[in-house]
């Protein structure tokens, strides 16, 4: 099966997570922008249960995975690619996001393994979550995910680029996000073609 045939047969299914719990989160708004700007052959499953993941406790894991973790793992497994959009806390990932990743990583076989990954971030500051994104790339190595390299989506001065309703209004950023989704789709298709022996 060629890459074109893969794309025609099923499209690309993307599981998207915002690493922020804040109702007016710029990163949740960034996920919505990615959904809006995606080509027709890309469908999104946007995660909204981050609050339901308990704090990681290996005694709990041994007793049995919480239902919320089982659901998270199933949705990751069903996707062709992941998008993670996140703020930056203390130069790194938000704790709630890292906690969810730690839980899902205990599922066997790993739902993360072999997945294409797109990383985004929006911040009121001037670094656009660069440092937290690099930390997530390190985690992706261990989890055997395959992040795209370009374009990078590091939205600086986010309050100037989203309106009061959470709509991404900055034209340059919209173009980057649209290109990002296309790049993730194409990278996912390449990975999938290798898996079926055409790479």
Averaged pLDDT, 51-58 = 98
Average pLDDT, the chain: 94
3-194: CATH topology: Rossmann fold (3.40.50)
pTM of the model: 0.92
Please give the structure tokens belonging to residue 49: 């249960």
Q: How far apart (Å, rounded) are the C-alpha atoms in residues 184 and 192?
A: 12
Distinct helix (H) and strand (E) counts, the chain: 7, 6
Query: Quick one: pLDDT at residue 195?
Result: 75
pLDDT tops 80 at residue 9: no
pLDDT, residue 93, reads 96
Region 77-104: mean pLDDT is: 97
* Residue 164 tokens, joined: 């009061």
Q: Is 92 helix (H, G, I), strand (E, B) or coil?
A: strand
How far, CA to CA in Å, does 61 sit from each of 36, 139, 157? 37, 20, 40
The pair phi, psi for residue 186, each rounded to 5°, is -65, -40
112, 143 Cβ separation under 8 angstroms: yes
Secondary structure of 124-182 in HEC code, one letter for each residue: CCCCCCHHHHHHHHHHHHHHCCEECCCCCEEECCHHHCECCCCCECCHHHHHHHHHHHH
Q: Is the pLDDT of residue 68 over 70?
A: yes
- The residues spanned by each domain of the chain are 3-194
The mean pLDDT of 102-107, rounded to a whole number, is 98
């Amino acid at each position: 099966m060629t890459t074109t045939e893969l794309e025609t047969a099923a499209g690309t299914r993307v599981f998207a997570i915002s690493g922020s719990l804040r109702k007016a989160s710029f990163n949740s708004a960034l996920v919505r922008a990615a959904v809006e700007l995606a080509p027709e052959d890309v469908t999104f499953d946007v995660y909204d249960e981050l609050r339901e993941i308990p704090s990681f406790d290996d005694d709990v894991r041994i007793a049995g995975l919480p239902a919320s973790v089982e659901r998270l793992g199933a949705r990751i497994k069903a996707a062709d690619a992941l998008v993670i959009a996140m703020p930056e806390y203390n130069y790194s990932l938000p704790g709630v996001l890292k906690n969810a990743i730690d839980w899902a990583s205990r599922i066997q076989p790993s739902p993360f393994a072999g997945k294409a990954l797109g990383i985004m971030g929006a911040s009121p500051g001037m670094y656009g979550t660069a440092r937290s994104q690099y930390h997530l790339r390190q985690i992706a190595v261990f989890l055997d995910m395959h992040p795209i390299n370009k374009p990078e989506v590091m939205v600086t001065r986010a309050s100037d680029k989203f309106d009061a309703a959470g709509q991404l209004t900055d034209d340059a950023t919209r173009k980057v996000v649209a290109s990002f989704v296309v790049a993730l789709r194409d990278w996912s298709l390449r990975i999938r073609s290798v898996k079926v022996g055409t790479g």
